[in-house]
Amino acid sequence: MKAIEIHKNDGAARLGTLLTGHGNVDTPVFMPVGTQGIVKAMTHKELQEIGVTMILANAYHLYLRPGDELIRRMGGIHTFSGWDGAILTDSGGYQIFSLGVLREIKEDGVLFQSHIDGSRHFLTPEKMTKVQENIGADIAMCLDECAPYPSSYEYTNNSVELTSRWAGRCKEAKSQRQQMLFGIVQGGFYKDLRLKSAQELLEMGFDGYAIGGLSVGEPKSLMWDMVDTVIDLLPHEKPRYMMGVGMPEDILDGVARGIDMFDCIIPTRLARNGSLFTWSGRINLKNARFTEDAGPIDKACSCYTCRTFSRAYLRHLLVSHELTSFYLNTIHNVFFYVEFMKRIREAIRKGSFETFYHNFITKYEGGEFNDNDERSVCNGY
């Protein structure tokens, strides 16, 4: 199955089209996270109007509630949720990893305790492949182990070997031809183990390849060192997905290396906390300087929130704990990301990505607003 068409390269940056059963998706693409089959504080109608074409849902969460068999009986996640765009499901490797003492990793799979009701479950690669087929996502991910940072060489090597065995079992269990299956490159922060993981997955052959196990507390320089280690090994003709990384500057650095797909909770989670993206840096509406600010979040933005409301009013909603604050702020941040990716694709199309990269970083990091006073972690839901 052909998963992507690459139309142009600008350096290592790639302009392409991801081919899915629910429409073609222009790449590079950012997928808003819709863990439960919906992006928090938004409706599908608004996502479509903004220009979102693909979202990420989480098979682990949907398996626990409402259940993958129920979703199958209801016609699959697209019919059940009313979203007719593309959907990728994460197998839940990171979520299971984050359970810590509530889970036990075995050769056959993972034994874990539900964070919802304490019930015990045992998920195998075969089971998670079936769960994602029941859900009916366009792209499914192999079950993997996300090694914590830091981890010893021995632990990480054993984790890579387990992830590879699980990937082979996922591929063997796959029965739905129309659903794409991506392998996940692991290896922690050891170059030789990253290469080992990538080579083993390439020998199996998947519809696309993700780089996982990043943004788990490591320095950014180390994160990019791991990406640089494996990116040239990943096939040019297959999609390349960087999991759980999505700050604007990180997306630019990923695109510059040849990454096609990104996801992150950052735009929606930060929106609910009043942290909003602008072309001149990130602002925090909790700041008292916005109390009587009659301007929009960003004069350069044409989203509904910016066209209609002032910073002062949006700050009032936020500090008053009005639920509408979640809605209006999320509209803006998701709109910003969609527009950001459009401009990236246009720059690649024109052969001016490097210029766009430097112009954006200069204005974003040195602009009027620079409230980036927190280190944000993308992984999680």
Q: Give the 3-state secondary structure of residue 119.
A: coil
Residue 196: partners with Cβ closer than 8 Å, 6 or more residues away: 157, 160, 187
Which DSSP helix (H) or strand (E) runs through 318?
A: helix 311-319
Listed in order, strand segments (DSSP E) in the chain are 4-10, 13-20, 23-27, 29-32, 54-58, 86-90, 103-105, 110-113, 120-123, 139-141, 180-185, 208-211, 240-242, 261-264, 275-278, 281-284
Supply the residues annotated as catalytic: 90, 263
Would you identify the CATH topology of the domain 4-264? TIM Barrel (3.20.20)
Tokens of 41: 């504080």
pLDDT by residue for the chain (381 residues), tens digit each?
799 999 999 999 999 999 999 999 999 999 999 999 999 999 999 999 999 999 999 999 999 999 999 999 999 999 999 999 999 999 987 777 677 767 899 999 999 888 899 999 999 999 999 999 999 999 999 999 999 999 999 999 999 999 999 999 999 999 999 999 999 999 999 999 999 999 999 999 999 999 999 999 999 999 999 999 999 999 999 999 999 999 999 999 999 999 999 999 999 999 999 999 999 999 999 999 999 999 999 999 999 999 999 999 999 999 999 999 999 999 999 999 999 999 999 999 999 999 999 999 999 988 655 554 444 445 554
Domain chopping of the chain, boundaries: 4-264, 270-366
Exposed, middle or buried: residue 103 (CB in 10 Å: 0-12, 13-18, 19+)?
middle
Tokens of 131: 């769960």
**154 CA to centre of own chain:** 29
Beta bridge partners of 123: 110
pLDDT at 101: 65
Exposed, middle or buried: residue 232 (CB in 10 Å: 0-12, 13-18, 19+)?
exposed
Residue 241: partners with Cβ closer than 8 Å, 6 or more residues away: 182, 208, 209, 210, 211, 259, 260, 261, 262
First to last CA, the chain: 30
pLDDT at 330: 98
Provide φ and ψ at 276, rounded to 5°. Answer: -125, 145
pLDDT at 373: 42
Residue 259: partners with Cβ closer than 8 Å, 6 or more residues away: 28, 211, 227, 231, 240, 241, 242
pLDDT at 35: 94
Alpha-carbon distance of 195 to 32, in angstroms, equals 29
**64 backbone φψ class: left, alpha, beta (φ>0; ψ -120 to 50):** alpha
Alpha-carbon distance of 251 to 259, in angstroms, equals 9
CB 296, CB 306: distance < 8 Å: yes
Please spell the DSSP secondary structure of 225-293, one letter per residue: HHHHHHGGGS-TTS-EEETT---HHHHHHHHHHT--EEEESHHHHHHHTTEEEEBTEEEETTSGGGTT-
Contacts 24+ apart (CB under 8 A), 150-154: 150/189, 151/188, 153/190, 153/193
pLDDT at 16: 98
Amino acid at residue number 197: S
Beta bridge partners of 103: 112
CB 89, CB 56: distance < 8 Å: yes
Tokens of 337: 């990301």
Provide φ and ψ at 180, rounded to 5°. Answer: -80, 150
